[in-house]
Every structure is written in structure tokens, then in C-alpha cells.
Amino acid sequence: MADAPKWKICWITGATGGIGSELSRQLAQRGVKVAATARSQDKLTALADSHANISAYPADVTDPESLKVSVEKIENELGPIDLAILAAGVYAPFDPDNIDLEGFHRTSAVNIDGVANSLAAVLPAMRQRGRGQLAIMGSLFGYCGLPGNGSYGASKAYLINLAQSLELELAPKGIDVTLVNPGFVDTPLNASYDRPKYFVIKPSKAARRIIEGLEKGGFEVAFPGRVAAFFKTAKALPNGALFWLLRRGLMRD
């Protein structure tokens, strides 16, 4: 007999994205009731139709009121959310010779403000219950700056810092915080990054790694291992050595 799932109700933002949709399906297959949130009603409907344990709750992470309404509806209809995976994210290229302000602001609105809005919607009930788990989707590319990655990388660096702060404050109150830092995953978001990519993995494998990491507990889930080791080493170097390594090493043109 399969082990009972660690969670009963999981809320996922960005649920129709490459990783979010895989997480939704794999958690549903494990017996978790998944409340899937994204902007597109059509994509959410198709996702919900793929498994009986997935339900659609459309909302825009840049709209804090719509998120609060969705969370209240989820908890009234399905039950208390005991795992929230905040996976909504966008990527916009950053060219210092032709700065795309719209793309920069959109990245901040979704990747940063969207997480804050989601936390504001889901955290009060978790705090009241004194239990729950939060998973924040960062990126290995938030560890240090990379060419063409000024807006996306900066937003993920923000989330790394935010997750660390939340862990310090929430863990003593019974709420686990997990920072998820993937490398390159074969999704439409990563496809728009037009520089060399290394150790690219499939969304299905990324979702398995994330779920396994969340089940084990601990603060960070980072993968692939070789890319994670590279960036963790790189960020500890003096700036001169860091810039030399990045210009000539893994991310060279």
C-alpha cells in the first residue's frame, strides 16, 4: 500500500506553467487535493480535467484581492491549505543597451509582488492554525548576476533573501519554509533565455525533485547538483574572482 501523502490540500500559483503543471499532476497522483491557480481559465480547466484531485481557482498573482478571495474559497470548499507552492514567475531579457522597462516592471510585479500577495493571502490562516508549509520558487540564478539576466536574477535574489527571513520568523511558529532553487528546466520561460544552457532537465524530473525535497524537509531544494555546486561556490568568491569565473566558465557566450 502506498504511503499516505504528507499533505491533504496544496495550493499552487503559476499552476499552468511548465513546472507548476507537473507539480499539480504529480501531487494529485499521490492523493493530494490540488488547488491550481493561474490567470488563464482555459489552461486551468484543461489542467483540472487531467485529474480528479485538481481543482481550478483562477486568479492573478498581481491582484492581491483576487488571491484572498481564491484562498478563502479553497479553504471553504477543500479544507485548510497545508502546503502552498508559490511558483508563478516570468522572465524578461535585460539588455543594458536597450532596457525594457515594461519587461523589468512585469518581472518585479509577478516574481516579487506576486509572492508577497500570495503570502498575504495564505499566511494568516496558517499562522492561526500554527502549522503549514510554504515553498517559494527561487532560482540558482538568483545567487549571482549573469549576462542578460538582470531583471529575472534580481527578482530571484530578492526571493532567496525573503525566504531566509521567513524561515527565521515562521519556523518557531510551526510553519516550514522551503526555498526551491532550480537550474535550467525545459520550459517556455527558460526557452526565452537565449544564452548557453547547461544540464537542462525536464519539467517532470524537476517536479519529482521538488516534491521529494518538500517531503524530506529542510530549507533548500537546489538542483541539478553540479549547477547548484557551481553557483554556491561562485557566490562565496571575491568579486574579482567571481566575475572572472562567470566570464570564462559555465555561462560564457
Q: What is the pLDDT of residue 1?
A: 38
Q: Which domains does the chain have, with CATH numbers?
A: 9-248 (3.40.50.720)
**Is the distance from CB of 155 to CB of 163 less than 8 angstroms?**
no
- Per-residue pLDDT for 162 more than 50? yes
In the numeric block, which cell numbers belong to residue 216?
524530506
The amino acid occupying position 253 is: D
Annotated catalytic residue within 57, 91, 143, 152: 152
Kindly report, residue by residue over 171-227, the tens digit of the pLDDT.
Answer: 999 999 999 999 888 776 665 666 666 677 899 999 999 999 999 999 999 999 988
Does 91 participate in catalysis according to the annotation? no
pLDDT tops 50 at residue 252 = no
pLDDT digits (tens, 9 = 90+) for 54-101: 999 999 999 999 999 999 999 999 999 999 999 999 999 899 999 999
Of the two residues 95 and 53, the one the predictor is more confident about is 53
Q: Is the dihedral of CA 238, 240, 244, 250 positive or negative?
A: positive
pLDDT at residue 128 greater than cutoff 60: yes
